[in-house]
Amino acid sequence: MWRRRRHLGFRIDPDRHATGYHRWWSLTNLLLGVLIDKDKFMGPREGPWKPFKNFYNNGVAYGGIVGTVSGLVAFARALLDDRSLLLNDQYRQQLFTEGYMKTRPTGMSLSWFTGSLKGRRYFAHAGGGGGYYVELRLYPDHEIGSVIMYNRSGIAPFLL
């Protein structure tokens, strides 16, 4: 019987995580051949797609977090919850306050991009790696959020 598991961590579990893919016929696929050892990090072509093998990012700048949709949804709920075990009110206020340079808004808060959709203020954080893209978007004023996950890579979400 299938059970939905909330999972966020730093370990890849092939039984619970999707294989990441990259479009075969693309300029970025050609560039990958210059940037990485494709035999080491990618499997054989599958139709119009080239799969990535499971690998770990190794670098300070990478969060490297791996998870399921339900794990990210649980994280979003914890960030939005007034009784959150993750954040008290003071830190939540800091997290969701847009920064300014002199009098100009930066479009960023603490690690979140800020924006507005149909007049609703949101905070978004995107991530990804070879074969993956994810965006977590929070609307704290409305106590809602969304999670978008793809198991394919691209330069920008609109190019996926």
For the chain (160 residues), the mean pLDDT of every run of 10, in chain order, is 63 77 89 89 94 72 75 90 85 89 91 92 88 90 91 61
Residue 70: per-residue pLDDT: 87
Instruction: Give, for 87, the enclosing helix (H) or strand (E).
Output: none
Start-to-end C-alpha separation, the chain:
33
Q: Which residues make Cβ contacts (< 8 Å) with residue 1, sequence separation at least 6?
A: none
How many other C-beta atoms can be found within 10 angstroms of the C-beta atom of residue 131?
Answer: 23
Q: Running DSSP on this structure, what letter comes out for residue 45? A: -
**Prediction pTM value:** 0.77
Residue 117: per-residue pLDDT: 93
Residue 113: per-residue pLDDT: 93
∠85-72-55 over CA atoms, to 5°? Answer: 120
Residue 133: per-residue pLDDT: 87
Instruction: Give, for 151, the enclosing helix (H) or strand (E).
Output: none
Residue 4: per-residue pLDDT: 58
Give start and end residues of each alpha helix (H) in the chain.
27-35, 38-41, 69-80, 89-95
Residue 84: per-residue pLDDT: 83
